[in-house]
Amino acid sequence: MSSFLFLFHASLTVFLAVTNCPVEAAKEFRVGDDLGWRQPGLNDTDVYSQWAAGKRFHVGDSLSFTYKNDSVLEVDKWDYYHCNTSNPIIDFDNGKSIMKLDRPGPFYFISGAPDHCKNGQRLFVEVIDLPPIVQSPPPFAAPPEQYLPDDSPAPAPSPSLGIAISITPWSLVMPLVITLLALVACSSAL
Please report whether residue 93 resides in a domain.
yes
- Judged by DSSP in three states, 15 sits in helix
pLDDT digits (tens, 9 = 90+) for 137-159: 556 655 555 555 556 565 555 55
Please report whether residue 8 resides in a domain.
no
Please report whether residue 40 resides in a domain.
yes
Please report whether residue 123 resides in a domain.
yes
CATH of the domain at 82: 2.60.40.420
- Total count of domains within the chain: 1
Range of the domain at 55: 28-128
Please give the helix or strand (H or E) that residue 123 lies within, else none: strand 122-128
What is the pTM assigned to this prediction? 0.59
Please report whether residue 156 resides in a domain.
no
- In this model, does residue 131 exceed pLDDT 50? yes
Please report whether residue 45 resides in a domain.
yes
